[in-house]
């Protein structure tokens, strides 16, 4: 019997609680609880970088990380600029850089400067049959430019003259002058 009284009393308390809550909230607008938002991390695209080797007559030769779209002039500036002995007329400072490229700034009177107008003592490199390694061995031509020469050759057919090298990205008048006498079509 005592058990029934406890059960009845518990039921009465529960009903009273529900009625009290209902009475207190009567006529009031219900406010919605905003949904829990989780933070969404948006990755900003990484800025593309090039790694170039700046060598020769510059103040601080070495490897430099530069933004994509930079020019040879930017690489030379990153290396502290050309030294007083540099012959920058043999470098196309306006040429765009490619990843993995070597920028070689020759010194006045160096082998690179002398080779600009003089034929090479060894046999010239044939532009139509040369491998990437053979082209890479030429002064002012790094692995990236060697690959660009091969890509140009595959896209446009065999070279008919050395002057066609100006159509290769990164080869301008200065670099072309440096290569004349060292290459043949």
Q: What is the pLDDT of residues 44-89, one digit of tens each?
A: 556 678 888 898 889 999 999 999 888 889 999 999 999 999 888 8
Q: pLDDT class for 93, splitting at 50, 70, 90?
A: confident
Per-residue pLDDT tens over the stretch 126-145: 898 889 988 988 888 999 99
pLDDT of residue 80: 95
pLDDT at 109: 78
Q: How far apart are CA 88 and CA 106, in angstroms?
A: 7
Domain edges within the chain: 49-184
What's the confidence (pLDDT) of residue 90?
85
Question: Which DSSP state fits 6?
Answer: H
* DSSP codes of every residue in 40-53: -PPPPPPPPEEEEE
> Model's pTM, two decimal places?
0.41
Q: Does domain 49-184 have CATH number 1.10.150.320?
A: yes
């Amino acid at each position: 019997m005592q058990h029934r009284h406890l059960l009845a009393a518990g039921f009465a308390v529960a009903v009273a609680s529900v009625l009290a809550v209902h009475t207190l909230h009567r006529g009031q607008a219900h406010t919605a609880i905003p949904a829990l938002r989780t933070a969404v991390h948006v990755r900003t695209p990484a800025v593309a970088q090039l790694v170039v080797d700046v060598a020769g007559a510059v103040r601080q030769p070495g490897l430099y990380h530069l933004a994509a779209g930079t020019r040879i002039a930017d690489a030379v500036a990153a290396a502290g600029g050309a030294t007083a002995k540099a012959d920058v007329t043999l470098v196309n400072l306006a040429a765009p850089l490619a990843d993995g490229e070597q920028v070689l700034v020759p010194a006045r009177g160096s082998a690179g400067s002398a080779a600009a107008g003089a034929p090479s003592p060894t046999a010239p490199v044939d532009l139509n049959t040369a491998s990437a390694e053979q082209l890479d061995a030429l002064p002012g031509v790094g692995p990236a430019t060697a690959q660009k020469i091969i890509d140009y050759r595959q896209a446009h057919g065999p070279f008919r003259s050395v002057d066609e090298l100006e159509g290769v990205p990164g080869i301008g008048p200065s670099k072309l002058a440096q290569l004349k006498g060292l290459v043949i079509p």
